[in-house]
Amino acid sequence: MAIKLKYVHQANGRWVWRPRIPADQRDQIRTDKNGFLAPPVRLGNITDPDDAIIRAWQAAKNSLADRLAAEKYTLRWIVDQYRKSKTFTDLAPGSQRRSGALLRILDHPIKLNGQSCTLGAISYRHLTRPMVLRLAEKRLERYQAAGRKGEAQVNREISLLSSAAKWAINHLDHLGTTDNPFKIPKFREQPNTRYVTDDEYNQQKTEAEQIADYLPIVFELTYLLASRGVETLSIKLSDINPDRQTGGINVTRTKGSISNTIEWSDRLYAASLQARARHAQHAVTDIDAPLIINSQGQRLKKSTLDTAMQRLKKRMDAKGLGEIYWSLHKLKSKAISDALDNRIAGHKTEAMRNRYTTKRARFKPPR
């Protein structure tokens, strides 16, 4: 029977396959001036059985697809595709934002077959668990050399790449492997055991007044609401019920915690009034404005808050108060430790609540 396969024809007594290569892939595969594969792939002689030619054609197609995939499916390309996928866009907005900083790992320098490149430039099929383990160890060394603990950051970086790999295995053809090289043991993260005392809180709050007028207000609200910094910044005027008897502040919790309402105390009410007083000092036009605003009357960005905290840390370091400095995360731990009910932050499990409880328990001795 006559063979009728696309791009397959006879030439010089042989069956050959000469497909047209898409324009965006011609920098990876040699082609002639018209974009056809050069040289063509020999499938067999014209006297060979048709089924043998068809098998050779299928093998050639698979081989070409694998070659293109080896060049195209770099780790950076895969991560880019993953971040465009529904799997990624269904994640919480905060998780999507945090992924941007974690992707700096793709720029980590790597040596592959004696050649220098970055992790993101490596073809997925060339990644191995031993390679990723060495990478994780070097990332940890870098963070620790910079004075950071590093375990949690490296774990999150590798976890993001593992999620991208899992998506690629399930959604991409010609990946070349079904192995996830990022499934490696996590570094053991050191639990937060520091309890911020009232004196340490008040001392840092005093120093913060010299950095930005909103910082002490953010501290008070974050502590009294047992919230994350981003949760504090997300509070709008519509989240506030001013009734002193039945009202309070509605807090939208992130990371799977349960949103709740924190009832008024004299201290919380005073902090909210301080925040509202800043609205009168700036041009706030939004009818449902954020409670915490910047100098332009708009929502204070998390990046701006982070910058202010870095400036505060430098100030405290310069004054010999570096050991006192605490982050907003540790402030949340203080809040949960001091609260009458450790469910205040909306954590769903007792194990998670215990992780945040850092205040040392006190007991009376036997009589």
DSSP 323-335: TT---HHHHHHHH
Confidence of residue 95 (pLDDT cuts 50, 70, 90): confident
Question: Residue 226 — very low, low, confident or very high, per pLDDT cuts 50/70/90?
Answer: very high
Does 92 or 258 have the greater pLDDT score? Answer: 258
- Cα-Cα-Cα-Cα dihedral sign, residues 86, 252, 307, 148: negative
Contact criterion met (CB below 8 Å) for 345 and 257: yes
326-342 pLDDT, tens digit each: 999 999 999 999 999 99
Kindly tell me if the per-residue pLDDT of 168 is higher than 90: yes
Taking residues 235-253, report their average pLDDT.
Answer: 95
**Cα–Cα nearest to 73, from 118, 133, 126:** 126
Dihedral over alpha carbons 11, 13, 14, 20 (to 10 degrees): 10
Distant-in-sequence, close-in-space partners of 242: CB < 8 Å, separation ≥ 6: none
- What's the whole-model pTM score? 0.61
Q: Could you tell me the pLDDT band of residue 174, with boundaries at 50, 70 and 90? A: confident
Cα–Cα distance between 168 and 95 in angstroms, integer?
19
Contact 360, 338 (CB under 8 A): no
Per residue in 183-211, pLDDT (tens digit) is 999 998 877 788 999 999 999 999 999 99
The pLDDT, as a whole number, for residue 263 is 96
Mean pLDDT of 223-238: 95
Structure tokens at 198: 């009232």
Q: Inform me whether the pLDDT recorded for 315 exceeds 80.
A: yes
pLDDT of residue 60: 87
Is the per-residue pLDDT at 111 higher than 70? yes
Question: For the segment 16-39, what is each residue's pLDDT rounded down to a tens digit?
Answer: 899 888 776 676 678 888 889 888
Rounded distance, CA 132 to CA 127, Å?
7
Q: How far apart are CA 134 and CA 136, in angstroms?
A: 5
Asked if 135 and 109 touch (Cβ cutoff 8 Å), the reply is: no
The whole-angstrom separation of Cα 325 and Cα 193 is: 15
Q: Report the C-alpha dihedral over residues 165, 171, 176, 177, rounded to 10 degrees.
A: 50
pLDDT of 96 > 60? The answer is yes
* Pair of tokens at residue 262: 């924190």
> Which one has a higher pLDDT value, 64 or 151?
151
Q: Which residue has the higher pLDDT, 173 or 229?
A: 229
Amino acid at 316: M
Q: Is the pLDDT of residue 69 over 80?
A: no
> Can you give the pLDDT at residue 325?
95
Length of the chain equals 367
Q: What is the CATH number of domain 198-356?
A: 1.10.443.10
Give the separation between CA 244 and CA 248, rounded to whole angstroms: 7
Question: What pLDDT shows up at residue 282?
Answer: 84
- Of 31-45, 79-93, 323-337, 348-362, minimum mean pLDDT range: 348-362
3-state secondary structure of 254: coil
Statement: residue 154 has pLDDT above 60: yes
Average predicted confidence (pLDDT) for the chain:
89
Q: What is the mean pLDDT of residues 246-267?
A: 94
- Higher per-residue confidence, 192 vs 229: 229
Average pLDDT over residues 113-139: 90
Residue 70 has pLDDT above 60, yes or no: no
| Res. 352 pLDDT band, cuts 50 70 90 | confident
Domain boundaries, the chain: 8-72, 75-171, 198-356
pLDDT of res. 68: 67
Stronger pLDDT, 29 or 302, i.e. the higher one: 302
Say if CB 14 and CB 7 are below 8 A apart. Answer: no
- R_g of the chain, CA atoms, integer Å: 29
- On the question of pLDDT at 170 being above 80, the answer is yes
